[in-house]
A and B are shown apart, each in its own frame.
Chain A
Amino acid sequence: MHNLSVSAISRALAAGDFSSVEITQYLLDRIREEDTAYNSFISLAGDSALEQAAEADLRRSKQSDVPALCGVPFAHKDIFCTENLRTTCGSRMLENFVPPYSATMVEQMRAAGMVLLGKTNMDEFAMGASNETSYFGAVRNPWDTACVPGGSSGGSAAAVAARLVPGASGTDTGGSIRQPASLCGVSGLKPTYGRVSRYGMIAFASSLDQAGPMARSAEDLARLLELMAGFDPKDSTSIDAPVPDYAASLNDSIAGIRLGVPKEYFADGLHAGTAACVEEAIKTFESLGAKVSEVSLQHSRLAVPVYYVVAPAEASTNLSRYDGVRYGYRCADPKDLHDMYTRSRSEGFGEEVKRRILVGTYALSAGYYDAYYRKAQKVRRLIKQDFVENFANVDAIIGPTNPSPTFPLGEKTDDPVAMYMEDIYTIPANLAGLPALSVPAGLVDGKPVGVQLIGNYLEEARLLNLAHQFQLATDWHQLNPLTGGEQ
């Protein structure tokens, strides 16, 4: 039962093969037993999940026209506020925070009858690419538990790969959905900036943050995105555009579709095994009728430097709200207000978060604003323009998701800059606000690697169509880490 996809569970519930309560109970038991090996969950919903499942079963028995995913279990990254369910953002700062409301995206999935099983582990405040900065301990990769799952949505990726949940939400500020999807052999989509509401999603870097789905197939991503996406007046940067039926175009032919391969994405630093898998994937697309050509994203090499100004600057501003007054951690026995602010923040935040707050504060401080923040915003425009120019000639861009397969825990924790390079191929789409996804494209020494597709604004349907056709032609997405990479 745990191998069933979101779509398969939806069909089984409709056919009456089992109830939502049955699969919910089954997966809760499975998480309790198996997750000790991965640490992919921070909190389990327990009884409230069973109540939601019973409600879904009742709804299916009484209504003829229920939403397709009614009763399907799901997990949310612990960055999304969930009413009456602890939401920590992977931080000691929010260890005991119980939100009085749910994020808009959480509400939408709930309204469609999806059952919330629990909250997945993550890098603290989504700052990390290995899930080692979580206050609640590192997550382990189901393909090799000595290795990292990627991050920051590492808990969601590991839980989906380990068949603890059929799907989970993630957030992607610089690659935090796509990179862990790549390292764990699952599918993950970062939509266009503004496509999914940010209301109730704990803020990291507000001009980059975007929520999206993670699952074991592009078909599942399409069904999940349809529930997650939509205009929200409570998010001031939400896009007011209709949500298409993403599943409807999955089976369209991709013959004649123009794919651009950025030469900069195959330069030094790309693992030879990863490169071989991506090149093979490109050949598969050609065999399906896609027209492949080389393109240039000449400013993409500056994406990591630009990101490490913009994201820390926005984070230092967003995280100034944690002051020990209204919610979150407060130090013991503060002697005055200044002492309370300083000790609450110093004790509540972990090392990586503090480092980024310092870099961001520095970049925004008097005398450095123009040289760092303003300069980075200008180069950000150049990075976006590269994409805009290329999308006049190609329909999507294809390349590696990240430079190499998963690596051992601890390998990069002492070298922040080496860790930051994990996101070298994902960050450009965040800076430009474009949709992008990663799907499994092969194994290197028994460890999965992903291929990335980047699309034009609001063209999630095209990316999902391409990914689904790729998955009809390949079986990389069906390989199971629990059976040694067999299907």
Chain B
Amino acid sequence: MSVDRSDIEQVAELARLRIEDNSVDELVSKITSILGMIDQMQATNTDDIEPLANPLEASQRLRADVVSEADQREALQANAPATEAGLFLVPKVID
């Protein structure tokens, strides 16, 4: 399956990535070649085969819904680009 410029631009928007205009063509060609390699799997018959999500077929372990971590707000916010009064700051969302 091949992709074109508009496919790449649409997927980039979904992934919140911006592709520079002068690199779109190269990206289209590289991703087309990756998808071409991937398409080798399409000819394999997988009728009646269940998808395998976890290699050990394990399911997620659950735990009681209780607080298990100590409050580390300051330590965690030390890595944030912008904070104020214990809150994460982002550009204005609502006028």
- Which residues in A have some Cβ–Cβ distance to B below 8 Å? 96-100, 192-194, 207-208, 233, 236-237, 239, 299, 301-302, 304-306, 308-309, 316, 320, 323-330, 334-343, 345-346, 349, 354-355, 357-359, 361-362, 365, 371-372, 374-382, 384, 416-417, 420, 430-434, 457
Contact = CB atoms under 8 A, between A and B. Distances in A.
A336 B93 CA distance: 7
Contact of A239 (B1, B50, B56): B56
A377 B57 CA distance: 12
B16 A194 contact: no
Interface in B12-55: 12, 14-19, 27, 30-31, 33-35, 37-42, 44, 46, 49-55
Contact of A306 (B41, B50, B53, B92): B41
B91 A381 contact: no
A320 to B, nearest CB: 8
B3 to A, nearest CB: 7
A98 B18 contact: no
22 contacts: A97-B79, A100-B76, A192-B56, A208-B55, A236-B60, A237-B56, A316-B15, A342-B16, A346-B18, A357-B15, A365-B14, A371-B1, A375-B46, A376-B41, A377-B51, A377-B52, A378-B51, A380-B51, A381-B49, A417-B33, A417-B34, A434-B55
B78 interface: yes
A361 B14 contact: yes
B67 interface: no
Contacts of B8: 358
B82 A326 contact: no
Among B34, B44, B46, B58, the most chain A Cβ lie within 10 Å of the Cβ of B34
B91 to A, nearest CB: 5
Q: 8 nearest interchain CB pairs?
A: A433-B55, A377-B51, A330-B81, A100-B75, A327-B79, A378-B46, A381-B52, A305-B41
Interface residues of B, number: 51
Contact of A431 (B34, B55, B76): B55
B4 to A, nearest CB: 12
Given A362-B3, A417-B33, A381 B56 contact: no
Give the interface SS of chain A, mostly helix, strand, loop or mixed. Answer: helix
Interface of B: 1, 3, 7-8, 11-12, 14-19, 27, 30-31, 33-35, 37-42, 44, 46, 49-56, 58, 60-61, 63, 72, 75-76, 78-82, 88, 90-93
A337 B90 contact: yes
A166 to B, nearest CB: 31
Among B35, B52, B78, the most chain A Cβ lie within 10 Å of the Cβ of B52
B40 A341 contact: no
Contacts of B75: 100
Contact of B30 (A306, A355, A379, A457): A355
Contacts of A193: 55-56
Contacts of A433: 54-56
A447 B65 CA distance: 54
B18 A325 contact: no
A194 B56 contact: yes
Given A233-B63, A376-B41, A324 B81 contact: yes
Contact of A457 (B56, B60, B91): B56
